[in-house]
Amino acid sequence: MAGIDRYLAEGENVVFESRFGFGRLMAEIILFVIVSFIGVAFGPVIVLVWFGFVLWAIADRASSKVYVTDKRLIRKKGAGSSNFEELRLDKVESIKNGPLGLRVIGTGATVIKLPGLLSNITELRKALAV
Q: H or E segment at 37?
A: helix 22-42
Sign for the CA dihedral angle at 5, 121, 57, 88 comes to: negative
φ, ψ (nearest 5 deg) of residue 113 = -90, 125
Q: What is the pLDDT of residue 72?
A: 92
Lowest-confidence pick of 3-12, 15-24, 85-94, 101-110: 15-24
Q: Is the model's pLDDT at 57 over the cut of 80?
A: no
Average pLDDT rounded to a whole number, residues 13-32: 77
Instruction: Please tell me the pTM assigned to this model.
Output: 0.71
CATH number of the structural domain 14-128:
2.30.29
Q: Is the model's pLDDT at 63 over the cut of 60?
A: yes
Q: Is the model's pLDDT at 11 over the cut of 80?
A: yes
Highest mean pLDDT among 23-27, 30-34, 88-92, 110-114: 88-92
Give the dihedral of Cα atoms 92, 95, 96, 102; nearest 10 deg: 100
Domain boundaries, the chain: 14-128
